[in-house]
Amino acid sequence: MGRKPPTNFAMPPVLRSKLVAPDFVPIFQEEYRVLRPRAPMPPISVRFRRFTSLNTTIRLREGQIFVSLSDLLEGAPESVIRAIAHILLAKLYKKSIEPVHNARYKRFAASAAVTRQTELIRGARGRKRYFGPEGRFYHLEEVFESLNQRFFGGLMGRPELTWSEHHARRSLGHYDAAHNTIVVSRVFDRPSSPRYAIEYLLFHEMLHLKHPVRMRGLRRCVHSREFKAEERQFPQLKEAMAFIKRL
């Protein structure tokens, strides 16, 4: 059988050490049989890898299935591993994912203990590239301090601030909680960018520090009601949004 591209359950950066997980192979074999009751059973290899977050991958190569699991899953309940096996195999063979397995995995991934452990691992293993807050036309630290005084009473601790490496237009800014860093796209660092647009973008990311992501059942709430209410306090919100749409 020819080489097929990997089907990813979110492809992560990875450190190369890995550990064979033979105890998980029977679980994958059982879920394979459920999804493909008449197909021949292919060889299945399952390994743990030091991923930077709670991610998994699966690929079919020369008739063999290769599975890589985050080492954060080593102590996971069997029911969670079974859910992951079902989801990965269903994605690989383009089958419907059973809602019960999907819900079980989401509950596990969204639990407070797993979320905290994932954040710690990402901060410890992940690498963040810093290009500094000083741009050619705008200095992010100066903009941050101005916003901090105007909207937060000067009480917000300053995270790492950096311009992006490239003039990104798809991701204009983001707050990385694991590295306590706000990244702003360098596309704003030009004389034609009005200050209020940069202020709004940085203000939006500062609100993420004040209002962290919450879980509502199995769903992540990134922009809570309180977040949106405070965002509307930005005096030039409409003008900033209009400028951003024209980028």
- Can you give the CATH number for the domain in which 233 is found? 3.30.2010.10
Query: Which pLDDT score, from 0 to 100, does residue 93 have?
Result: 96
The predicted model gives 69-77 an average pLDDT of 88
Query: Which pLDDT score, from 0 to 100, does residue 8 have?
Result: 42
Q: Say if residue 160 is exposed, middle or buried (CB neighbours under 10 Å; 0-12, 13-18, 19+).
A: middle
Model confidence at 12: pLDDT above 60:
no
For residues 115 and 66, membership in a common domain is answered with: yes
For residues 190 and 235, membership in a common domain is answered with: yes
> Does residue 135 lie within any of the structural domains?
no
CATH number, domain with residue 40: 3.30.2010
> Does residue 133 lie within any of the structural domains?
no
The percent of residues in the chain predicted with pLDDT above 90, rounded, is 60
Query: Which pLDDT score, from 0 to 100, does residue 121 have?
Result: 72
Number of structural domains, the chain? 2
Q: Which pLDDT tens digit goes with each residue over 124-173?
A: 665 667 788 999 999 999 999 999 999 999 999 999 999 998 887 778 99
Query: Which pLDDT score, from 0 to 100, does residue 2 have?
Result: 44
Model confidence at 15: pLDDT above 70:
no
Mean pLDDT (the chain, rounded): 85
> Does residue 239 lie within any of the structural domains?
yes
The percent of residues in the chain predicted with pLDDT above 70, rounded, is 86
Relative orientation angle of helices 99-110 and 112-125, to the nearest 10 degrees: 70
Q: Which pLDDT tens digit goes with each residue over 195-216?
A: 999 999 999 999 999 998 776 7
Contacts of 71 (CB under 8 A, 6+ apart): 19, 48, 49, 50, 51
Query: Which pLDDT score, from 0 to 100, does residue 125 have?
Result: 62
For residues 168 and 68, membership in a common domain is answered with: no
Model confidence at 115: pLDDT above 90:
no
Retrieve residue 143's tokens.
């903009």
Domain region containing 66 = 7-125
Query: Which pLDDT score, from 0 to 100, does residue 126 have?
Result: 58
Q: Are 161 and 203 in contact (CB under 8 A)?
A: no
The predicted model gives 116-125 an average pLDDT of 70
Residue corresponding to tokens 């008449």:
38
pTM above 0.85, yes or no: no
